[in-house]
Amino acid sequence: KKGAGSGDWLLMDSSGREVTTSVSKYRIMNWTQINPRDLRIIDPVFCYPSAILCREKAIVLNLEHIKAIITSEKVLLRNPTDENAIPVVQELRRVLKSEERTDDPFEFRVLEVVLEGICSYLSARSIEMDNQVYPALDLLTSKITSRNFDDVRRLKSQITRLTSRVHKVQDELEKLLDDEYEMECLYLSRK
């Protein structure tokens, strides 16, 4: 079975240098000092819900299509060529290679890019749904047919799934924000 270590990973450091590579899970565990159980949340073999885990030397992140391990100096991003991950990768490149240096720790800059990317992705999906729902509802109100009714029912199911995904991300962020200890753990550079 392929696990969390197999597949493409994008490794980027604080100066924006990057390399796409296949990394074994044992090398990842050794490098980040996270345990195998934590690594499982980003394993494509398993279906884990959204999660942000703060560990001694790394943040393990599984939110929507973004699966990453962030340290104080590097980020490992899983499947960087996935069409939904590409905007996050491009923004990471821009932010990390920027001439304008900030005093923000590396892990915070990466976390900000990732969270903005996920929010933008979910917002775009919401706008797409709006663009489909209103015409379908207008059509149903003007002419009630089984086909129009089925279209609205299908869209309702899609909206329900999207809403559930948004709530999972929201719940994970709120859980993190409400826990002062976990918030302190995010500051990896200080350790």
Q: Where are the domains of the chain?
A: 8-186
Residue with the larger pLDDT of the pair 160 and 23: 160
CB atoms within 10 A of CB 34: 21
First to last CA, the chain: 35
CATH of domain 8-186: 2.40.128.330
- pLDDT single digits (tens) 65-120: 999 999 999 999 998 999 999 999 999 999 998 867 678 899 999 999 999 999 99
Output the pLDDT for position 102. Answer: 76
| pLDDT value of residue 115 | 96
Per-residue pLDDT at 2 exceeds 70:
no
pLDDT value of position 86:
94
Average pLDDT score, the chain? 90
Q: pLDDT, tens digit, for every residue of 114-123? A: 999 999 999 9
How does DSSP classify residue 151?
A: H
In tens, the pLDDT along 9-43 reads 999 998 889 999 888 888 888 888 899 889 888 88
Least reliable range by pLDDT among 42-51, 104-113, 148-157: 42-51
**Averaged over 52-58, what is the pLDDT?**
92
Whole-number pLDDT of residue 124: 96
89-124 as b/e: b if 16+ CB within 10 A: bebbeebbeeeeeeeebbbebbbebbbebbbebbee
